[in-house]
A and B are shown apart, each in its own frame.
Chain A
């Protein structure tokens, strides 16, 4: 159990409601690293409407996190001691977090407007980060996927964002190798993709249980750690490691997997869980309804090498990338059918682009705004590639927005 988590949460919430922004901003400023503090930007910087963050490689063993705006202009660079992976943000409180790649030994927490001023949080003993996390609805708590590696148990570390990301406790994810966690908007439910693969820091990133791996998708009540739903794939596809998640407007969760076996066609690389049905059908540790798989043609599966890198939801489509296939594909949210495949070399990061409030999201002829100039007006998503390219995605296809000299890492997030 997340001992103390729910009790602490009440008092934290009170504190958060009164002092969220000043408290978090102040804590970060005072704890910024010396190097980062030297690069502190002017406090007069206008907060951008849309910011994105991605890890990147600049050279051999030279990793950074880059924050850029919706015209792909670099706003900030954060030097990293090790490769980064995912990120999370909470817009109302301006908080954001960047997670180290597994076996991760840091998370950097910062105000999204001042990314250079970050607080570094290290995992507690016997745990390492898995690379992703998610904030509570009010932003007072942050949940990070972690590995209790000696017990081979996946946990969500619970962090108090109003107290310098102090770790309050943890709760089980209901599986091994928890990778990405997302929160269902408007609810305390957290959905976790348990990749099913056991790793141990003693053996680095080596996968220790490929033959017996048991991936799952679980729904956890963040208030008390209760398991509310759990999906597993049919036994023959137990080697599809379920990794990445994205929530759609209806609160359903799309997932993307990576197959560790040797069959040429696989089921379960991509799919969606419908939360209501998953919860209702949950009995004896398993949900019997609510899981739908996307049927991917055999040739597309082969092109992807059965490896999907990321997933995002933009408008009516779920977007999946495959860096190994050098492609992204769109799936219709309603029918769960494949709509389109586009080639983008070494493409991995994908994030929805929300139009600024009050602006149309297509090529509205009445709108001669700067957005139309950049092509962002019609863009529904942003793609990043290991080539250094940042592209926009619209119904017309992809458009190159910028080419940076860094190699963009696995994920990009709107923060």
Chain B
């Protein structure tokens, strides 16, 4: 069988780099030189993307800022809906509150994996979303909080000073989706739950606005991301910015597959192990998580620089389609938390597609961009 053109030209370098080069000396030298410029130096960054910072500009203005503003808006609406529900104590107001809760969860999930700067400052990520909570800390804390609330309604500041397990969406979900909720939110009921729900919503809203502020153009991290300087505490070079963006994408896809989807697939699959399962928000979260990674990899121009835009867009679209189908199922499973066969099959396929995205990102996206986010894995001791 004749060798392919690539194989006829290929030589394996003695260094084990496995790079194909032309046998023609002058051309091979030039080609090798070009490749070496793309390869990591000492395992560090040697970016193949434009050095003008355009990707950072797009990350800030087309990805981070819109996501943060959307979350701030959704949180404000959540707070308003909580206040209305508390005042009206009607089924309609409660229904509106639940709808706004789900919208706010979606908006949070769309920036949850941007694990940098404003989301991590003051431990906001964990305060907004303390999960998993295997030891049911949230439940214990909430019981104590409601007991205390009977005599003294907590303010936002009070909530912000309490355990992470009481400050964000899981705590609010526990209040809103408890089987007793309609009773507590009903007319004439003086139970403190809705006031606590307002205080938690207020706390979420405050954090959402702090995050949004942290992504504004005049925020120190943003200025540094757009114009890195040698003395900065945030970013000293454009390569550091690039590595930060790529790390968020890679760690993000790990989180989606290993922490979230893993609870919904395999032998241990359990609807009730998923994030925010009481409000059936597990899939909404994962869908928005993936959309956020799509935006950070594609809308920034990074996927295009890696010549993978079409491929990654297709893979993200496939995953989104499967999630949509899952969300359209009349039910994911039974009361005991066992998935239906339809849901199980779709989740298995989704896991495979997300695995494909992960492979593309880890093995090709990173390599083509010339970034080596690993350090210990490449050179330990």
Contacts and interface: CB of A to CB of B under 8 A. Distances in A.
Interface string A294-309: 0000000000000101
Contacts of A346: 373-377
A363 B141 contact: yes
Contacts of B143: 365
Interface in A163-184: 179
A403 B120 contact: yes
B318 interface: no
Chain A interface size band reads 35 or more
Given A375-B123, A397-B132, A309 B380 contact: yes
B163 A373 contact: yes
A131 B127 CA distance: 38
Interface string A387-403: 11100000111011111
Contacts of B134: 395-397
Contact of B161 (A363, A373, A388, A397): A373
A265 to B, nearest CB: 21
A85 interface: yes
Interface stretch (B203-211, B212-220, B236-244, B284-292): B236-244
Interface string A102-123: 1000000000000000000000
A138 B42 CA distance: 41
Given A363-B140, A387-B247, A395-B135, A368 B381 contact: no
A373 B375 contact: no
A365 B165 CA distance: 10
Interface string B149-162: 00000000000011
Contacts of A375: 123, 126, 130, 164
A280 interface: no
Interface string B65-108: 00000000000000000000000000000000000000000000
Contacts of B141: 363, 365
A386 B164 contact: no
B380 A397 contact: no
B115 interface: yes
Contacts of B165: 363
B259 A397 contact: yes
A218 B240 CA distance: 43
A389 B115 contact: yes
Interface stretch (B17-25, B180-188, B250-258): B250-258
Interface string B353-377: 0000000000000000000011111
B123 A388 contact: no
A152 interface: no
B115 A343 contact: no
A186 interface: no
A129 B264 CA distance: 48
A396 B130 CA distance: 9
A410 B376 contact: yes
B353 to A, nearest CB: 18
A24 to B, nearest CB: 28
A235 interface: no
A387 B251 contact: yes
Given A59-B44, A348-B376, A365-B144, A131 B251 contact: no
Nearest to B121: A402
A106 to B, nearest CB: 16
Given A346-B376, A397-B134, A405 B259 contact: no
Interface residues of B, number: 46
A175 B375 CA distance: 29
A345 B376 CA distance: 10
A410 B259 CA distance: 24
Interface string B251-287: 1001000110000000000000000000000000000
Contacts of A402: 120
Contact of A396 (B133, B240, B250, B374): B133
Nearest to B134: A396
A326 B164 contact: no
Nearest to B123: A374
A396 B115 contact: no
B116 interface: yes
B144 to A, nearest CB: 4
A387 B141 CA distance: 33
A323 interface: yes
B381 A85 contact: yes
A223 to B, nearest CB: 30
A59 B42 CA distance: 9
Given A343-B259, A365-B144, A388-B247, A372 B163 contact: yes
A368 B120 contact: no
B59 to A, nearest CB: 15
Given A101-B381, A345-B250, A405 B123 contact: no
B381 A102 contact: yes
B41 interface: yes
A378 interface: yes
Interface string B285-314: 000000000000000000000000000000
A345 B130 contact: no
B241 to A, nearest CB: 9
Interface in A287-335: 307, 309, 323-324, 326
A102 B380 CA distance: 11
A127 interface: no
Nearest to A322: B377
Contacts of A405: 234-236, 240, 244
Nearest to B40: A60
Contacts of B250: 345, 387
Contacts of A58: 236
Given A323-B376, A363-B165, A386-B375, 20 more contacts: A101-B381, A309-B380, A345-B254, A346-B374, A348-B376, A362-B135, A362-B137, A363-B137, A363-B163, A365-B143, A368-B162, A368-B163, A386-B376, A387-B247, A387-B250, A388-B247, A389-B251, A399-B130, A405-B240, A410-B376
7 contacts: A345-B374, A346-B374, A347-B376, A362-B135, A375-B164, A386-B373, A397-B134
Please give me the 4 A-B residue pairs with the lowest Cβ-Cβ distance, nearest first.
Answer: A386-B375, A363-B137, A323-B376, A348-B376
